[in-house]
Amino acid sequence: MLPSRQYAARRHGMVYHRANIAARHCARLSATISICPRHAHIPAVRRRTVRRRPLTRPAGRRAGPAATGPLMDWGLVLVLLSMGAFGGFSAGLLGIGGGMILVPFITMIFSARGFAPEVIVHMAIATSLGTILFTSMSSVRAHHLHGAVRWRIVALLSPGILLGSWIGPWIGKQMSSTVLALFFGLFISFSATQMLLGKKTSGGRELPGTAGMFAAGGLIGLIAGLVGAGGGFISIPFMGWCNVKIHNAVATSAALGFPIALAGTLSNIFYGWDVADLPPHSLGFIYLPALAVIASASVVFAPLGARTAHRLPVATLKKVFAVVLYCLAAYMLWKAFH
């Protein structure tokens, strides 16, 4: 056995060694906060730095130029209100939903605000369909008060319209903005020519059966959902071909704008949800600030256009409207190639 003095010295050394190890460990853990004054003789451990990851936007959403500036200035609000008033009035007057006018003007505004070129036309069409959702409800009420809406035709066409209007935005998503602008420009050129010539359809035909009405509604909804229109450029000639009076056809077309806009709006939200380069305040392909301003004006002027349709010679107004459509078609075709 070791003498008691040597045993005490060895035991004291082991205790000191363990205390020294514990103090060093404590220093490593608390180096970023403070150093314990009891163990100040121990060399300080190098402070660790934690690199924070920069905040990023969720996948599919990138900040565009519009994210850095004000949401909308008063000049832009006035322009959108004017567009909504003109689009709502023409929707009630001619039963076209207003999309033929709104899409080119919305495209101009989105281009001026610096939105991503890859989604400008898609967003203009989707926002136009969203406004028709409100415009159609406003205009159809005025037409219904005149007893002009053929609700049986609405009921027969609506199932096919709902299906076609959902598929239309999906097809549009597969297209580039260039192809979509080209298709839109050609379509409204054809529609303007149809209005300008005012070709009369021969009577004597009857409405097709349930299957035929479903197919016709599917075609109307498909094209309307693709170009962001209310479908009047197809539904009105179709009803005229089936010997429906022009005022009834216009009023019924205004009622058909609601299922077209409903399915098309939901489809544009769904298929545009994860698309990159969309600006802030977008819901899918729909730009909510523009939708709110345009719809607030269109719902006021749509009933006025509907009442005017029963008092003025619509054929003359259609020819004036056709000239405006030619100018807008020219812009969309220019946009497609530039």
pLDDT tens-place string over residues 253-264: 888 989 999 999
Res. 181: pLDDT tops 50: yes
For 222, how many CA atoms within 13 A lie in the half-sphere containing its CB? 9
Is residue 226 very low, low, confident or very high in pLDDT (cuts 50, 70, 90)?
confident
Task: Mean pLDDT check: name the lowest of 123-127, 269-273, 308-312, 326-330.
Answer: 308-312
Is residue 290 very low, low, confident or very high in pLDDT (cuts 50, 70, 90)?
very high
Backbone angles phi, psi at 97, to 5 degrees: 85, -20
Distances (CA, A) of 200 to 150, 197, 241, 336: 21, 9, 9, 33
What residues contact residue 11 under an 8 Å CB cut-off, 6+ apart? Answer: none
What residues contact residue 117 under an 8 Å CB cut-off, 6+ apart? Answer: 111, 177
Res. 85: pLDDT tops 80: yes
From the list 157, 167, 86, 161, the residue with the least C-alpha distance to 128 is 86
Relative orientation angle of helices 177-197 and 314-337, to the nearest 10 degrees: 160
Ranked by mean pLDDT, which of 10-14, 26-30, 208-212 comes out on top?
208-212
Give the whole-number percent of the chain exceeding pLDDT 90.
Answer: 19
